[in-house]
Structure 1
Amino acid sequence: MIVFERNLWEPVERYYFRSTRGLTPICELARQGDSWEVLFYRGATRPGPHPYDSFDHAKAHIMRFLAPREDELRGPEAVWAAANANPTATPAGNLQTRHPRRARRRSSL
């Protein structure tokens, strides 16, 4: 899945797009005056900057480009992604067989 995030301490409004399993961004989308510019760090034959008039239009193009290429462009794998890649076995005694909120009915005697 592709996500985008912004660092609030940066003086320019800039969004970084990366894979949820990747550690480093694949591209950035930054405000330049009244327009937006896309700059690719890897994967594109022409890294840019590519100008766009609106944020939504630029984001749609980025997502359309990155979604099918996510695995090859993700870059170094994040620690949390590597940890989740190999699920650990759960002992049979820890499996929950009933819903935790369902209370047992007491017999009325």
Structure 2
Amino acid sequence: MAEFNDQQDELAKMGIGIVALSVDAEKYARKSVDKHGLTFPVVYGLDGPSESSKIGAFIDEKKGFFHATNFILRKGAVNHATYSTGPLGRLQAEHVKTLVNYYQGQEKADSTG
């Protein structure tokens, strides 16, 4: 999350917004926000099992938290999703910028067709 926060201005210039979702109670979500200096919205207190079934996130049933789940939404639909149950394979801000640049290039090519 800190990486996305650090690149938030650059992402915003590309039309990319960031929102984080958490099953944590407000107290613990605020600790994460403060620890990483997050300035984008963090939605907290979600019901893990209910929300995980809605968004397709993997939830650790014993601990009750979502594993890293990232989406790139395009024109109101999920265009890319990344799910990671460990520290490897998580979506990074640079990946998002590369993918969005690609999509924007495709849209330009389609419109000039």
Structure with bigger gyration radius: 1
Q: TM-score, structure 2 length as denominator? A: 0.30
